[in-house]
Amino acid sequence: MFQNNDVLIELKKKLNSRLPRVEGIVKSNEKGFGFLEIDHKKSYFIPPGKMNKIMHGDKIIAKLDYVNNREVAIPEKLIEPILTRFIGQVKKKEKKIFIIPDYPFFKKFIPCSIEDGINHKLKDYDWVVAHLIHHKLNNYCDFYAKITEFIISNNDYLVPWFVTLSKYNLQKYEPKIKIKKNLIDENCYRKDLTSLDFITIDNFNTQDIDDALFAKKVSEDIICLTVAIADPTSYFNSGSEIDLIAMDRSFTNYLPGFNIPMLPRYLSEDLCSLKPKVRRPVIACEIYIQSNGNIIKDKTKFFLAWIKSKLKLSYEIVANYITNKSNTYINSNIINQIELLNIVCNRRLKWRKKYALVFQNNPEYYFQIGEKYEVKNIIIEHRNIAHQIVEEAMIAANICAAHILSNKLKFGIYNTHIGFDSLNAENVIKILDKYSIKYEKGDFSKSLITTLKGFKILRNVLDKISNKYINNKIKKLQSFVEISLTPKPHFALGLESYATWTSPIRKYTDIINHRLIKSIINKEKINKPKKNILLKIIDSKRKNRLSERDVTDWLYTIFLQKIRFDKEIFIAEIVDIYRGGVRVRLLKFGAYAFIPAPFIHKIRNELICNKEDGTVKINNILIYSIGDEIKVKIIEIKTNTRSVIVKPI
């Protein structure tokens, strides 16, 4: 009888308006309820009946109320939906079209329409791109989407690759553009080095070869290393159509078993590639290296040249010769080159260990992909001396590039790394104090570790104590590598400045530095690159990294389903710890997996998974730490989330 009472309605409005509001991110649960996460410490329960208007990841405003004596969040206003442009699969039902989002936290079918211009006849479970048009929290009766692009049929071999590339709005094919084969700078003088015994060292199947090496003994103390780098900028101008395409892509996208080049393949894998026995234009750098590994920077020379690589060698062949002195298929001139390059490598390694920093050589995992893009096997590759030879040569060349750009122009594209920001530096000092880690002169300080010298001291001390737990905790506090238009230190390499130019076929940053170096060689004026180009390059790098991760996860789930995983025990390293469980890496294959908290201990209030501390404790007793190696068994492979669930044994 009071249902339509105006006074009562007005009273309800007043009471409702007085309820507090909070803003947060929706976190859904498989059981139908959810939480509104305000920050990493505070969250509110969302009842199952209120979850049907929202999605996991939506940013919303909710009012706080009490239901059954429990404070709950009632979704009220949408701030930012998690789904706008998204990937999904088509499903036809009763002459209507629906889309199933490729989003593990939303399992409902979304009704949709098809945008004009899509000529492909869509079938069930075809992959498409869609845009969310209506959201239920915006007072619509249902979610609604529009299909805007067909991606690939569900039975196509390339589904993992094409779906992932579409997810990040990345190109699936090489650039479709033709340019003239004539050099645009053919009037520039190029030194003829075609008689020298340049060699290339790369993977056996590499086609886009962008570096060649030649070493010559100048004296007992000095070896001259000439690094020759392919010169694609000799075929197209800045601002040309192909240049704008390369800038937009920024990188060649290397995915397992599949790559999408930044430049057309006839450029990257043919015309510019430093293939053996063909004459190629290059930018060359002569580097004079002393017996202690020091580079005589004042003697470094950059110049344009012609070379003709004498032989393409694989890492395996070079490493086999150095290790076993096996010289099958290699003549005496090439053997001399390998031996000199090995000396250069050892000199530079010795110098970098003393005056800079050297990365630890961790194994890399590669998918062996068949003709129908099936995963045949996963190969573990340990870096050998041949990898180090090429790496040391490229690092030396990039140090020289940074030096000449800084001295002559005072700008360029520099790779930089600040070590720790101010807040993380304080947290590092707390860790060092907790574990009584000192250096030869006493305690570490914030002011010390935020300098290049202090960072190098810290990294060398951590390498000596070789404690995985402490190392991982401190590495998680390190900043990311960035790029800058002005010279800045690269703490992770232990260098004053670092500018890459050795991969212009694959990286647009290196194309920019090529043009800058050419301007110095030819004594031409050139403008400083604009800041907005950095944002584009950073965004492309992020998307490429995410696409590689997603394809890798997808292929792991396909591969692991084919083996008898339920019968095998795996050694896994703990790489991260979350409130809900532990992330590990299966060392046999390199796949990442997750251990849900209940698999560690069934009584939840006795278990503490501490992300900040990187530990797992039961009743305050330490069970696991980041860096520990444990035995696990695969329990489930979730194809919809491309994830692997394991259980410790």
Span 224-241, pLDDT tens digits:
999 999 999 999 999 999
Neighbours of 98 (CB within 10 A): 17
Between CA 331 and CA 425 the distance in angstroms is 53
Average pLDDT, the chain: 94
Between CA 488 and CA 293 the distance in angstroms is 23
Residue 517: name the closest of 305, 273, 283 by CA.
283
Is residue 103 domain-resident? yes
pLDDT band with cut points at 50, 70 and 90 for residue 325:
confident
Indicate whether 238 and 260 sit together in one domain: yes
For the sheet with 311-314, list strands across it. Answer: 191-192, 301-308, 279-290, 222-230, 211-217, 199-202, 311-314
277-300 pLDDT, tens digit each: 999 999 999 999 999 999 999 999
- pTM: predicted TM-score of the whole model, two decimal places: 0.91
138-177 pLDDT, tens digit each: 999 999 999 999 999 999 999 999 999 999 999 999 999 9
Residues in the chain, overall count: 649
Between CA 9 and CA 484 the distance in angstroms is 61
pLDDT band with cut points at 50, 70 and 90 for residue 495:
very high
Indicate whether 358 and 292 sit together in one domain: yes
Radius of gyration of the chain (CA): 29
Proportion of the chain above pLDDT 70, given as a percent: 97
pLDDT band with cut points at 50, 70 and 90 for residue 250:
very high
Between CA 488 and CA 85 the distance in angstroms is 38
Indicate whether 256 and 371 sit together in one domain: yes
Identify the CATH number of the domain in which residue 110 sits. Answer: 2.40.50.640
The pLDDT of residue 326 is above 70 = yes
Identify the CATH number of the domain in which residue 587 sits. Answer: 2.40.50.140
Start-to-end Cα distance in the chain:
63
pLDDT at 581: 97
Indicate whether 272 and 309 sit together in one domain: yes
Is residue 488 domain-resident? no
Q: Which of 279-293, 322-336, 491-505 has the lowest mean pLDDT?
A: 322-336
Strands 59-67 and 70-80: antiparallel
Residue 344: name the closest of 191, 537, 213, 184 by CA.
213
Between CA 586 and CA 559 the distance in angstroms is 13
Angle, alpha carbons 257-261-262 (nearest 5°)? 150
Q: Which domain holds residue 435?
A: 418-479
Indicate whether 378 and 258 sit together in one domain: yes
Indicate whether 401 and 424 sit together in one domain: no
Between CA 436 and CA 192 the distance in angstroms is 59
Between CA 638 and CA 599 the distance in angstroms is 16
Is residue 435 domain-resident? yes
pLDDT band with cut points at 50, 70 and 90 for residue 562:
confident
Is residue 162 domain-resident? no
The pLDDT of residue 276 is above 60 = yes
- Name 288's Cβ contacts closer than 8 Å, sequence gap at least 6: 218, 222, 223, 224, 225, 295, 296, 299, 300
Indicate whether 284 and 245 sit together in one domain: yes
Residue 504: name the closest of 229, 235, 93, 306 by CA.
229
Proportion of the chain above pLDDT 90, given as a percent: 88
Is residue 557 domain-resident? no
Is residue 225 domain-resident? yes
pLDDT at 4: 58
339-375 pLDDT, tens digit each: 999 999 999 999 999 999 998 888 999 999 999 999 9
Structural element, H or E, at residue 617: strand 615-618
Strands 629-638 and 643-648: antiparallel
Between CA 172 and CA 159 the distance in angstroms is 12
Which residues are known to be catalytic?
202, 208, 210-211, 315, 506
Indicate whether 105 and 214 sit together in one domain: no
Helix ranges restricted to H, 476-507: none
Residue 93 pairs in a beta bridge with 96
User: Under a CB-based contact definition with an 8 Å cutoff, are residues 365 and 379 in contact?
Assistant: yes
Indicate whether 433 and 370 sit together in one domain: no
pLDDT at 56: 94
Residue 483: name the closest of 498, 493, 494, 496 by CA.
498
> Can you say how many angstroms the Cα of residue 480 is from the centroid of all Cα atoms in its chain?
11
The pLDDT of residue 565 is above 80 = no
Residue 270 pairs in a beta bridge with none
Is residue 526 domain-resident? yes
Between CA 309 and CA 274 the distance in angstroms is 7
| Average pLDDT rounded to a whole number, residues 379-406 | 97
Tally of structural domains, the chain: 5
Between CA 245 and CA 243 the distance in angstroms is 5
Is residue 1 domain-resident? no
Indicate whether 570 and 611 sit together in one domain: yes
Token reading at 336? 């001399």
Token reading at 388? 């180090």
Indicate whether 140 and 283 sit together in one domain: no
Indicate whether 244 and 331 sit together in one domain: yes
202 vs 40: which has the higher pLDDT: 202
